[in-house]
Amino acid sequence: MSLSYHAALQEPVLDANQERVALKSWQQEGDRKSLEVLVRSHARLVWAQALVWSNNPVHLEDLVAEGIIGLMRAADSFDLSFKVRFSSYAKWWVTAGISSALVRVKVVIDIPSRIYVDACGGRLQGEKLSNAQRAIKGGVPLDAASYGAGNNGIKTLRCADLNPEEQVLAKSSSRALSRALYSAMDILSPTEQQIIRRLKLKPEPDCARDLANEMKMSQTRLRQIERHAVMRLRRELPKCGFHLEMLD
């Protein structure tokens, strides 16, 4: 089953009784439509977990696929006598599926998924952390003979500059992001547009207190308008062509 991020957000959320009916139909009657309804309604949970680890669309596709499999396994094994919502139970299965896929899709050298999660979570130190980071980032020693325990001066083949193809893609993505943003801004009132431009879009944002004084309102009111405008933009941006990969 393939379900995009925005499609997942549009799926209706089942109430507790609807969950139980769908789970019972799937477990006892093998009703695939009930399973599909259950998975679709919880796909946002999968996306939320996957987005914690990556916003790369290629990686996300694999992570979400593993998370969906985790949802299906949870639907198979959920005990209907449990007095908990399905999402609480399924979260472990989703996280386990995504964690197992992390190393495969993001790490150059195979390492245990627990090592990857611990390294990213700051739970490793010293040589273990150094070795894990080299595996994750794919560092290649220029002089293998100089490598040894305690050698912190390893040089790696890395270039901070973008190649010509990456430069073209970056410029194209930047233009697309600008078009989506300014198109979404049309839904805002003139006051909201001014606040967003001056507090969020300027290279050096204005001081909120000075802007509030200029617009003859309290700073608290200005911040309320700002938060409301930001929430409206978040809902409108996907409709204007915004995708997470534009931020890479």
pLDDT in tens, 40-75: 999 999 998 888 877 777 778 888 888 899 999 999
CATH (one of 3.30.350.10, 1.10.10.10, 1.10.287.1060, 1.20.120.1810) for 5-106: 1.20.120.1810
The whole model's pTM is what?
A: 0.48
pLDDT of residue 38: 92
Higher-pLDDT residue of 80, 104: 80
- Give the integer Cα–Cα distance in Å for 248 and 56: 7
Residues 6+ positions from 94 with CB-CB distance below 8 Å = 45, 46, 49, 67, 70, 71, 74
The answer to whether residue 130 scores a pLDDT higher than 60 is: yes
Across 88-97, 128-137, 165-174, the highest mean pLDDT is recorded for 88-97
Positive or negative torsion for Cα 80, 82, 86, 90: negative
Residues 6+ positions from 180 with CB-CB distance below 8 Å = 237, 240, 241, 242, 246
The phi, psi pair for 217, rounded to 5°, reads -145, 165
- Answer whether 76's CB lies under 8 Å from 30's CB: no
pLDDT band at residue 106 using 50, 70 and 90 as cut-offs: low
pLDDT of residue 34: 92
Q: For 209-226, how does the pLDDT look when each residue is reduced to its tens digit (9 = 90+)? A: 999 999 999 989 998 999
- How much is the average pLDDT of 86-90? 91
pLDDT of residue 134: 59
pLDDT of residue 72: 92
- Give the integer Cα–Cα distance in Å for 121 and 32: 38
The answer to whether residue 5 scores a pLDDT higher than 60 is: yes
CATH topology of domain 164-247: Arc Repressor Mutant, subunit A (1.10.10)
Q: Where are the domains of the chain?
A: 5-106, 113-142, 164-247
Helix axes 113-120, 86-106, angle to 10 degrees: 100
Tokens standing for residue 154: 């390893």
pLDDT of residue 115: 62
The answer to whether residue 88 scores a pLDDT higher than 70 is: yes
Q: For 149-161, how does the pLDDT look when each residue is reduced to its tens digit (9 = 90+)? A: 444 444 444 555 5
